[in-house]
Structure 1
């Protein structure tokens, strides 16, 4: 086989490295736009039309540009932000800023409603000019720059588009690109399957956020899966009067617990819901006597609720006289998350700017 190799060509294994070398390395921690939720790299944020995803990324942009609090709770580092609001105009953007309480625009927040030079070139230019400050770019929405594909090569074209955008942020360690996209109309069991388009879009992203909210409900669930952030689902609330999204709880762990509580109490009466919520706050388990005190409920009534909740799978009865949450919120890996400030070194992949115009 070696007889056919060009002796002047580089060795195909020049870029190989051993496991021994790899385990000796010390890499910087991952940079986070929102600690525990949005790490550096390419993030795909998807939701159904008109449920508030543009409000969400506007709030995230303002928080990042000012070093404020994302979702009203999570402190974030200050960085330059470019918001490509390709479905809006200056008048609407000004109105939205005023709605969320911004009367004096942050100097580190820049808007564009069109990209005459093309989306890829525009994003690349902003990242290059601000690369030393770990910039953030928001592209709202992908549909404004994405081609319409069908046929056998649709996956490859979707993957190629996203890879081209990912190459731009990978070339500037610590930088981030959030792309807003729509979910499918059909309901899906796995939230990743809800991303509109082929799986090539999700496959090329570093992180995927799926926002789910009923049209006339203020409560929503934000599903997160990522190569770097902890996977989980968090309860968030949208205030239509102020245009703001807030975490349902004092931190991510509380917001994850709120999802479990809401799921366990869905479709039940107030008293049963209160029993389930109180039990859900004691992962180590709680005894009926303690619940009587906490709930101010008669023993017979409480026993009836506990039996019915256990039979319905809303709470667990791990041993006699002890009740516990039916499931555990997805927060176990939070301790593995490296909070911000140092960017992870990444190799620069070849760019294909012609894929997206």
Structure 2
């Protein structure tokens, strides 16, 4: 066995490395990422939507540009041909091409070879492989140490994309049954699973609710917490026009867990206008809320929004102060829209 190779800090600081690349800007860096969520809350819909967007180019979650089309392999090991086709139709994806490939069945011991062969075949084109789910390919630990087993399996999966610069692997996994304080503790299995990943995304959504919170942590990228919405057709979109808005909306959702969907939508809309928004403009932005005056009154009484003056509302976090009658508020003009791989 050869001695480990050492290098000096002076040499290290003279090196020039390419900038960090993203699969989804600000959320999923290149490398191996885990998407973790409870069963049946839409994680497979999410990765299918990402696979379509990445293979065609466009905007992930409706607003985040992913750049040029790239090859994508979706290992949809919990789905069949009929369900995949039905979901693609439901999402309104339109015409797709062979840049997006599917596999629905793998024999034991095939997953590493399948991923590695695909990534190497498209080296230089920033290929992405989606594995849905980890549980379908995870070998039993037997009598071995559970942490060491989990870390070894995930490290071998990670090695497939580490070997080819620009490639990425997104693995879908389940959360624990018990509620966890730290979102990383929600990852099912030992800490060896999350510990081996470059990035971990934990998706949380209450049953029958359309909004969700996506927690993101990474070795290389900034941590974040973002609000997303899943439509009835299965399309996931960022809850806001930017990551910053989605992050602010995530804070609003967490701070107002006890309120219903119409109230939450009202609070989020008011929070988009820190200097205030008039009730008339709110009616145009929220045409589906016939009892808007009542919701405004209740939101002000609960101190979820502020009433600056008659018909004028602002976020509770706004720095705007109530002005005297001789002063006027600077209200922004808004533009309203028209209608075995794993050796022992």
User: What TM-score do the two structures reach when normalised by structure 1?
Assistant: 0.75
2:226 and 2:246 in contact (8 A); partners too? yes
Higher relative contact order (CA 8 A, sep 6+): 1
* Equivalent in the alignment of 1:92: 83
2:190 maps to what in 1?
198
Mapping 1:139-288, distance limit 5 Å: 139-149=131-141, 153-240=145-232, 242-267=233-258, 278=270, 282=274
Against the structure 1 CA distance between its residues 275 and 191, is the aligned structure 2 distance closer, same or farther, given a 3 Å change threshold? closer
User: CA 1:164/1:190 → structure 2, altered by over 3 Å: closer, same or farther?
Assistant: same
Q: Cα offset for 1:47?
A: 0.4
Specify the alignment match of 1:46 in structure 2.
36
Q: Give the Cα separation in 1 of the matches to 2:205 and 2:18.
A: 36
Segments of structure 2 that go 5 or more residues without pairing to the other structure are 283-292, 307-314, 324-339
1:105 to partner: Cα distance: 2.3
1:21 matched to 2:11: yes
SS of structure 2 residue aligned to 1:179? strand
Distance apart, 1:195 and its partner CA: 0.5
Instruction: Quote the Cα distance in structure 2 between the aligned partners of 1:126 and 1:316.
Output: 49
Number of residue-to-residue matches in the alignment? 304
Which secondary structure state, in structure 1, belongs to the residue aligned with residue 192 of structure 2? helix
71-80 or 135-144, which deviates more: 71-80
Partners of 1:199 and 1:272 in 2: CA distance = 35
Which residue number in structure 1 is paired with residue 49 of structure 2?
A: 59
**How far does residue 265 in structure 1 lie from its aligned partner after superposition?**
3.2
Aligned to 2:327: none
Instruction: Tell me how far 1:120 sits from its aligned partner.
Output: 0.5
1:183-204 Cα offsets, whole Å, 9 max, x none, are 0111111110000001100000
Deviation at 1:51, TM superposition (A): 0.6
Residues 85-124 of structure 1, C-alpha deviations (whole Å, 9 max, x = no match)? 0111111111111111134322210001112460110000
Q: How far apart, CA to CA, are the structure 2 residues paired with 1:218 and 1:271?
A: 14
User: Alpha carbons of 1:126 and 1:261: their partners in 2 closer, same or farther (altered >3 Å)?
Assistant: same
Deviations 1:238-267 (Å, cap 9, x if unpaired)? Answer: 112x21101000011110011112223333
> In 1, distance between residues paired with 2:76 and 2:199?
21
Contact kept in structure 2, 1:146 and 1:356, CA below 8 Å? no
SS at match of 1:17: coil
Deviations 1:226-247 (A, max 9, x none): 112221110000112x211010
State yes or no: 1:124 paired with 2:93.
no
Unpaired runs of at least 5, structure 1: 1-8, 323-352
Shift of 1:317: 9.7
Whether the aligned pair in 2 keeps the contact of 1:275 and 1:305 (CA below 8 Å) is: no
Tell me, in whole angstroms, the C-alpha distance in 1 between the residues paired with 2:208 and 2:196: 33
Moved more, 43-52 or 258-267: 258-267
* Cα distance in 2, alignment partners of residues 208 and 132 from structure 1: 25
Q: What aligned pairs does 1:77-88 form with structure 2 within 5 A after superposition?
A: 77=67, 78-88=69-79
RMSD of Structure 2 on Structure 1 (CA): 3.3
Give per-residue Cα distances to partners, 1:107-156, cap 9 Å, x unaligned. 21000111246011000000010011010000000010002337670000
Instruction: Trace 1:2-13 onto structure 2 (pairs within 5 A).
Output: 10=2, 12-13=3-4
